[in-house]
Amino acid sequence: MLNPFERLKIPPKVNETIKSMLNRLPKIAGSSVKDREIRRLNEYYERVKKYYTFVEQFPRIEELHPFYLESIKIITDVDKLKICLSITRKASMISMRILKKYVNQIRKSPEEVANKLMRQAFGRVSSILRNSSECIDSVINIATELKKIRTIDPTLPTIIVAGPPNVGKSTLVTKISTAKPEIANYPFTTKEIHVGHVILDLLRIQVIDTPGILDRPENERNKIERKAINAIRNLNGIVLFMFDTSISSVLSIESQIELFKEVKSMNKIIIPVINKIDERYEEYYKRIVNFLQSEGVTKWYEISAEKGTGLDKLKEELFSLILRGNINDISRN
Ligand SMILES: Nc1nc2c(ncn2[C@@H]2O[C@H](COP(=O)(O)OP(=O)(O)OP(=O)(O)O)[C@@H](O)[C@H]2O)c(=O)[nH]1
Ligand SMILES: [Mg+2]
């Protein structure tokens, strides 16, 4: 599943197209007045065609992988997007038709009216584009946003690092893979899905860093949290769920446990990782351990992503399970 938006060519916004075309007009010359005006309209035609090609190449929404469909839903209303795609198609088709018609008319008409016809065509097309510009520009914005999603390869073994905000997910991902997401001591530092890789015995493993999630109902979650839920739900992979045992954890222990239960209910292989063991607050630590034991969890990891404690063991066991292709060895806790 390469990002279907990756290769999409995004045209300039409507105002930019019109403005730059207006700048171009005086610079376009021809062997005669008629020739010049035809060239001018042909150039406009090429620019308008970019909108048409853009809509034609826009991935079919019905055929999108659930991960990308949900990515669209996080940014916009799908029905609104479909309407805007159709408005963009119509506006560009009509504009192209008008430009063609005027080129033919100029060819057949006397030289004296060529400039007037060119200006008429230019005005009509510009006003069609302007009238649809809200929609056209919104599709451009959405596509620009979707293009930014890193390429995720579904054929690679994948580790998805998830959990509450500020638990140290990005710190861990940075330590075990090539990804270099921003790390900072405040919640929601990570706003996008980041993808890194580890190469082990020639096998490439994909490590995905996700934004933090709060323990609250789905309809109250912000866009950043919804991106993380989308990755957990719609990508294939093992989920490393990180707990924060320090006194300054953003979520209370109860909320961390509730969130763990929610993620677990998404039916993925989930591996609990207790982070910030270097700053562990005994009472919090014990409550997490008691909870895990009460759930019958037999395998969890205790690490300090920052100090590097426990990372060798985590990497070794995780990667060797993946290498053996024996994911089922990790109990579906
Ligand atoms: N003491 C301690 N601090 C840590 C550890 N791991 C990460 N931190 C610190 O915790 C803070 C948050 O780290 P991040 O890696 O940005 O956390 P995150 O989970 O990616 O945060 P969001 O992207 O905001 O959800 C930073 O100040 C890190 O230096 C650890 O093992 N021990
Ligand atoms: Mg982060």
What's the CATH number where 35 sits? 1.20.120.1190
Residue 187 lies in a domain: yes
Residue 330 has pLDDT above 80, yes or no: no
- Residue 292 shares a structural domain with residue 221: yes
- Residue 186 shares a structural domain with residue 296: yes
Least confident of 65-79, 91-105, 143-157, 265-279: 143-157
The pLDDT-based confidence of 325 (bands split at 50, 70, 90) is low
DSSP letter at 269 equals -
- Residue 137 shares a structural domain with residue 164: no
Residue 286 lies in a domain: yes
- Reported as type and span, the H/E element at residue 160 is strand 158-162
Find the DSSP H helices in 149-281.
169-176, 223-234, 253-264
The pLDDT-based confidence of 250 (bands split at 50, 70, 90) is very high
Count of domains observed in the chain: 2
CA–CA distance, 314 with 201 (Å, rounded to integer): 17
Residue 9 lies in a domain: no
The amino acid present at 230, given as its one-letter code, is N
pLDDT of residue 188: 93
The pLDDT-based confidence of 333 (bands split at 50, 70, 90) is very low
Listed residues 114, 147, 180: the one ending a domain: 147
Burial class, 232, CB count within 10 angstroms (exposed 0-12 / middle 13-18 / buried 19+): buried
Residue 137 lies in a domain: yes
Listed residues 125, 147, 169: the one ending a domain: 147
CA–CA distance, 301 with 313 (Å, rounded to integer): 8
Residue 223 has pLDDT above 60, yes or no: yes
Q: Please give the number of the atom of ligand 1 that sits closest to the Cα of 212.
A: 25
The domain spanning residue 325 has which CATH number? 3.40.50.300
- Residue 32 shares a structural domain with residue 104: yes
Find the DSSP H helices in the chain.
14-24, 33-57, 66-75, 78-108, 114-131, 133-147, 169-176, 223-234, 253-264, 282-294, 311-323
Listed residues 102, 122, 147: the one ending a domain: 147
pLDDT of residue 332: 38
Of 186, 306, 309, 311, best ligand 1 pocket probe by most atoms within 8 Å of the beta carbon: 306
Residue nearest to atom 21 of ligand 1 (CA): 166
- Residue 138 shares a structural domain with residue 166: no
Residue 210 lies in a domain: yes
CA–CA distance, 98 with 116 (Å, rounded to integer): 15
pLDDT of residue 322: 82
The share of the chain scoring above pLDDT 70, in percent, equals 97
- Residue 173 shares a structural domain with residue 253: yes
pLDDT digits (tens, 9 = 90+) for 22-55: 999 999 999 999 999 999 999 999 999 999 999 9
- Residue 231 shares a structural domain with residue 100: no
Q: Please give the number of the atom of ligand 1 that sits closest to the Cα of 190.
A: 23
What is the average pLDDT across 276-288? 97
pLDDT of residue 201: 78
Rounded to the nearest whole angstrom, what is the distance from the C-alpha of residue 139 to the centroid of ligand 2?
29
pLDDT of residue 138: 98
- Residue 80 shares a structural domain with residue 223: no
Rounded to the nearest whole angstrom, what is the distance from the C-alpha of residue 142 to the centroid of ligand 1?
31
CA–CA distance, 94 with 148 (Å, rounded to integer): 31
Rounded to the nearest whole angstrom, what is the distance from the C-alpha of residue 231 to the centroid of ligand 2?
14
Residue 329 has pLDDT above 80, yes or no: no
Residue 328 has pLDDT above 50, yes or no: no
Residue 79 lies in a domain: yes
Identify which has the larger pLDDT, 188 or 151. Answer: 188
- Angle (deg, nearest 10), helices 169-176 and 311-323: 70
Identify which has the larger pLDDT, 122 or 153. Answer: 122
- Residue 199 shares a structural domain with residue 122: no
- Residue 191 shares a structural domain with residue 63: no
- Per the prediction, the chain carries an average pLDDT of 94
- Residue 262 shares a structural domain with residue 293: yes
What is the average pLDDT across 98-104? 98
- Residue 108 shares a structural domain with residue 228: no
Residue nearest to atom 10 of ligand 1 (CA): 168
What is the span of the domain harbouring residue 254? 158-329
Residue 326 has pLDDT above 70, yes or no: no
Residues having CB closer than 6 A to ligand 1 are 165-171, 183-185, 187-190, 211-212, 275-276, 278-279, 304-307
Residue nearest to atom 7 of ligand 1 (CA): 168
pLDDT of residue 320: 79
Residue 1 lies in a domain: no
Residue 8 lies in a domain: no
**Measured CA angle at 33 (ends 31, 36), to 5 deg:** 65
The region, left, alpha or beta by phi > 0 then psi within -120 to 50, assigned to residue 325 is left
